[in-house]
Amino acid sequence: SINYNNPNAANASANYILNTGNRYLCLCTYDRISDDGTDMLVMSFDDELSPSIKVLDGSFDEYARAIEADGENSYLLLGNRVNTSSGKEEIVIYSVETNGLLVTGSTQITTISETNANLRSARFVNLPGGSFGIVGTQEQNGNSDIFLQFLLDDYQLGERVLFGASGDQTGVDIALPGDGSILLLGTNKIGDNSMISLLKTDLEGKL
């Protein structure tokens, strides 16, 4: 076993792990020692538990959500951050390159925000054709809806589809059942009662 102590962090939490076949990638969130903010880091290790660390230094408070493969030795990292200018939460996505156990580089490829709304991503999947589908929660004017945000194969933003006819909806996870559809998992709270929400759409987000 290992216990990794980030020298730049007061606290750290593991958020997601991906088995790439010959190694593991773990996405984490840590509290910066220098101030009250948070950043993300990605840890690469093999069965011998020898970690290689790459810190993602963002300009805002960031926290980690998930990892998906994006071609050979390339991965997308999904997170959220608080924009100090707007005070709103938004989505941030990094791309990292690997060479064996080493994470050799990282690039912030996009942020996704909405005027007067908080966007909180939860999970994402690689869709047929190389695009991505992101599930999460959009909170605006006291109401919350599940969203399905598309990220195209060239990292341009696609459509964002909202689901939330009644109650406060929260997006939790996303999967591809194998029949050409997208499955969204969430919760729906109406009053004091919470229920599980399952939504099945086509690859364009249509029910």
Give the residue numbers spanning the domain of 204. Answer: 116-207
d(CA 207, CA 201): 4
pLDDT tens-digit profile of 131-183? Answer: 999 999 999 998 999 999 999 999 999 999 999 877 899 999 999 999 999 99
How many folded domains does the chain comprise?
A: 2
pLDDT tens-digit profile of 81-104? Answer: 999 889 999 999 999 999 988 999
Do 15 and 94 fall within a single domain?
yes
Do 106 and 121 fall within a single domain?
no
List Cβ<8 Å contacts ≥24 apart for 194-203: 197/146, 197/163, 197/169, 199/146, 199/163, 201/148, 201/161, 203/127, 203/128
d(CA 98, CA 131): 21
